[in-house]
């Protein structure tokens, strides 16, 4: 059986309930809440659409928020809807939807097929309700 290279993701939060509401409203995912090793968790489960966003959890953190890796969420087919939902739920867009290009020569850029899905794509960066940087990727 093949497994993803990423097995589990923990996203730190200042306010666990607020962050869970943000991800629920933006990505139509759901959570169950539990405490593991003394740390409150909101664990991702499949939302009403039956799709599980990722294997992982939001965690309540006493550490500074906003540093770390950038997770890119799939926005194919509804990029603008997700951008609006981010803004409507306490997030902020820091890099607007941008076509991925590659510099071919000094004055020439090409639109490559991406490594993600072998199609031309767009990306955006956002801050979630807790100040964590997240990414969006879509081939539309």
Which residues face 12 on adjacent strands?
Answer: 59
* Residue 32 in domain: yes
Give the pLDDT confidence of 128-140 residue by residue, as tens digits.
999 999 999 998 7
| Number of independent structural domains in the chain | 1
pLDDT of the residue at 63: 77
Element (H, E) at 124: strand 122-127
Give the pLDDT confidence of 75-89 residue by residue, as tens digits.
999 999 999 999 999
* Residue 93 in domain: yes
* Residue 79 in domain: yes
Question: What's the CATH code of the domain at 114?
Answer: 3.10.180.10
* Residue 77 in domain: yes
* Residues of the domain holding 71: 9-138
* Residue 81 in domain: yes
* Residue 95 in domain: yes
Which residues face 93 on adjacent strands?
Answer: 126
Give the pLDDT confidence of 43-68 residue by residue, as tens digits.
998 767 777 777 888 999 887 777 77
d(C-alpha 19, C-alpha 42), whole Å: 9
CB neighbour list of residue 19: distance below 8 Å, 6 or more residues apart? 11, 13, 42, 58, 128, 129, 130
* Residue 4 in domain: no
- In 37-132, beta strands by DSSP E: 39-45, 56-60, 71-74, 92-99, 102-105, 108-110, 122-127
Task: Assess contact for 62 and 71: CB atoms under 8 A.
Answer: no
Task: Assess contact for 82 and 26: CB atoms under 8 A.
Answer: yes
């Amino acid at each position: 059986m093949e497994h993803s290279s990423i097995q589990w993701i923990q996203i730190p939060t200042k306010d666990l309930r607020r962050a869970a509401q943000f991800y629920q409203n933006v990505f139509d995912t759901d959570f169950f809440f539990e405490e593991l090793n003394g740390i409150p968790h909101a664990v991702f489960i499949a939302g009403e659409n039956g799709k599980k966003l990722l294997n992982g959890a939001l965690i309540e953190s006493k550490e500074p928020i906003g540093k770390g890796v950038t997770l890119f969420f799939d926005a194919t087919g509804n990029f603008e809807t997700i951008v609006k939902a981010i803004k409507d739920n306490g997030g902020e867009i820091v890099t607007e939807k941008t076509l991925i290009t590659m510099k071919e020569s000094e004055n020439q850029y090409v639109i490559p097929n991406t490594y993600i899905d072998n199609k031309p794509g767009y990306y955006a960066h956002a801050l979630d309700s807790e100040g964590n940087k997240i990414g969006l990727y879509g081939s539309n």
